[in-house]
Amino acid sequence: MLAAILFDLDGTIVNTDPIHYRAWQEMLLNYSIEIDETFYKSRISARLNLEIVKDILPQLSAAEGQKLADEKEALFRELAPHLELLSGFSELLAWTETHQLKRALITNAPRFNAEYMLKVLGIKEVFHTVVLADDCIAGKPDPAPYQVALNKLGITAGEAIALEDSPSGIRSAVGADIRTIGIASTHDPQVLQEVGAFMAIPDFTDLQLWTLLNSLIEPNLSAIAPLVNRTP
């Protein structure tokens, strides 16, 4: 029986990738490095900042790398004053309330970014627990953040479903033995399924999602959420 839904933040609840991409483009130009979307998705997206800096700019000291990461995130917040929730998220949130499900946020985002995004989106108080990579022994793709979330919620992996947009996040959730749905807002659906998602959908209005969730709450339920009848 489903007891909780576990949400990633960047790319899952809100599509921030275009803003992160722009911020990294501007920051790396200071080091005469020009990046395109392919580079961003393969070397930057969903990774921890210090890992990114160590990979791309190995000549920087730890202190210089941290300074660059902090400046990049400050630029991100400057560029992101008007974030919008991914389609269907508000309805999914209401559905979890109706069925008294627990909600957790598991993100690699730095603390200031996570707090900023939750405030701008107006969802700061909707999660029963928030797990940041900074608070764990390792960030995604390690399963540690999801294992921490399960422990905080007091549930087993079999009682949860995770929603993730990146290969890194999916590996993390699947590594914690959690059934994971890929949100194909930033990556190809096939890629998400290849790394472990059992389903890949464009956003939270997708018929497959609502059919699945309702079957987990009431296996014989015939009526599904009104959203499924919405035309694209």
Residues taking part in catalysis: 8, 10
Give the C-alpha distances (Å, rounded to integers) separating 73 from 16, 26, 50: 12, 12, 12
Q: Distance (Å, rounded) from C-alpha 96 to C-alpha 76? A: 30
Q: How far apart are CA 202 and CA 13, in angstroms?
A: 12
**How far apart (Å, rounded) are the C-alpha atoms in residues 116 and 189?**
29
The CA–CA distances, whole Å, from 66 to 26, 50, 73 equal 17, 7, 11
SS3 percent helix, strand, coil of the chain, rounded to 5, is 50, 15, 40
- Cα 197 to the center of its chain, rounded Å: 13
